[in-house]
Amino acid sequence: MKIVVIGGTGLIGSQVVRLLTAAGHDGVAAAPNTGVDTITGAGLTQVLTGADVVVDVSNSPSFERDAAVEFFRTSTGNLVAAEQAAGVAHHVALSVVGTGELAVESGYFAAKQVQEELIAASGVPYSIVHATQFYEFITGIINAATAGTVVRLAPVDIQPIASADVAAAVAAAAVEPPLNGIGDIAGPQRFRLDELARAVLAERQDPRTVHTDPTALYWGAHLQTDTLTPGAGATLSETRFADWQLAAANPR
C-alpha cells in the first residue's frame, strides 16, 4: 500500500515510515522539508495521488491556544479535503489520552479536540490512536512545570509509553481496517507524576526540587487522579520505563 505519513520526519513519524517500509509498504514521509505543507497545501495533491492510507502524526510548532487551534483546524481541514479528492480509504491520526477532559481548560488539548472532531465529521474512514505521554516527553513535562528551581506537579497517576511502541501501534493501525473510533495505548506501568519527576531528576543529579501540588496545572489544565491514564480495554505496550532509560543511556 502507499501510506503517506504527514509529520513523517518527526519523532513518531520517522519511526512509522521506517516500520511501514520494512513491512514492504510504500511509506512516504511528508513534511515541510520534503515539500509537503498541510497549512499552505503545498505538495498535498501530488503526495496523495495513489495513496491508500494517510497517517497524521504532525504537531503544531506552537502549543499556545490560538496558534495550536489554528494549526490543527487548518491542517486537518486541508488534509481531509485532499484525501476525499484523492479517494484515500483510511485516515489514521495520533492524539492523546484524556484529550476530551483536558480540552476544557488547556489550549493545546482544545486544539487536539478540534482535530479529532474534524476527522470524525470528515466522512473519511478513520482511526484515532490515543497515546499516553511518551517517555521522551517526561523532560518536557518537568521543564514546563519549572519556575526557578522548583517543579510543581500534581500527585496524579501517569502511565507513559516509549515512542517506539507508539510508532508500532500507529503503523499497525495504518494496515488494519478503520476503527471509526478511538483506541487507547499506554505503557505497562503506572507511576505518580510528582514521584516519577522526582526520581528522574535524582537520577540525573538535577538540583531542581519537585513540590507536590494538587492544584498544579498541566499545559493549562487541572488534573484528576485518572486524567492521564488510559481507559479500560487499552492496549498496553511492553517497554518498561527503566529499560527505556537504560537503552537511552547506552545507545547502540
Shortest Å distance, C-beta 84 to ligand NAP: 18
C-alpha span between 136 and 170 (Å, rounded) = 17
Residues 52-71 close enough to bind ligand NAP by CB under 6 A: 57-59
Using DSSP, state whether 95 is helix, strand or coil: strand
35-40: long-range pairs with CB below 8 Å, 24+: 36/6, 38/6, 38/74, 38/75, 38/76, 38/78, 38/79, 39/71, 39/74, 39/75, 39/78
C-alpha span between 114 and 122 (Å, rounded) = 12
Contacting range for ligand NAP; rule: CB under 6 A; set: 47-55, 127-135, 208-216, 233-241: 127-135
Give the residue, chosen from 137, 206, 220, 236, that forms a contact with ligand NAP under the rule CB under 6 A: 137
Give the residue, chosen from 3, 86, 88, 96, that forms a contact with ligand NAP under the rule CB under 6 A: 96
Shortest Å distance, C-beta 170 to ligand NAP: 9
C-alpha span between 206 and 196 (Å, rounded) = 13
Shortest Å distance, C-beta 68 to ligand NAP: 9
Does position 220 bind ligand NAP by CB under 6 A? no
Does position 12 bind ligand NAP by CB under 6 A? yes
Strands 150-153, 126-131: pairing kind:
unpaired
Does position 237 bind ligand NAP by CB under 6 A? no
CB of 132 within 8 A of CB of 159?
Answer: yes
- The smaller minimum CB distance to ligand NAP, of residues 109 and 149, is found at 109
Shortest Å distance, C-beta 214 to ligand NAP: 22
How many Å from the N-terminal Cα to the C-terminal Cα in the chain? Answer: 31
φ/ψ of residue 58, rounded to 5: -80, 170
Does position 131 bind ligand NAP by CB under 6 A? yes
Shortest Å distance, C-beta 206 to ligand NAP: 20
Give the residue, chosen from 3, 4, 6, 153, that forms a contact with ligand NAP under the rule CB under 6 A: 6
Q: Which three cell numbers stand for residue 167?
A: 510508532
Q: Which residues bind ligand NAP (CB under 6 A)?
A: 6-7, 9-13, 31-33, 36-39, 57-59, 75, 94-96, 112, 131, 133-134, 137
